Copies of this chain bind each other. A is one copy, B any other.
Amino acid sequence: MSVGKTGSGAARAGRTGRRPGNADTRTAILDAARIRFADNGFDKTSIRAIAGDAEVDPALVHHYFGTKQQLFAAAVDFPVDPESTLSAVDRAPLAELGDTIVRAVVTVWDSPAGPGIVAMVRSMLGGGELNLARSFLLQVVLERVRTRIATAEDDGRARTALAAAQLMGVLIARKIVGIEPLASMPIDDIVTAVGPSVQRYLTGDLDSGR
Report which A residues bind B (CB closer than 8 A).
99, 122, 124-127, 134, 137-138, 142, 157-158, 161-162, 164-170, 172-174, 176-177, 179-182, 185, 189, 192-197, 199-201, 206-210
Contact = CB atoms under 8 A, between A and B. Distances in A.
Copies of this chain: 2
Contact of A180 (B161, B174, B182, B207): B161
A179 B165 contact: yes
B169 A165 contact: yes
B125 A176 contact: yes
B206 A193 contact: yes
A83 to B, nearest CB: 22
Contacts of A166: 165-166, 169, 197
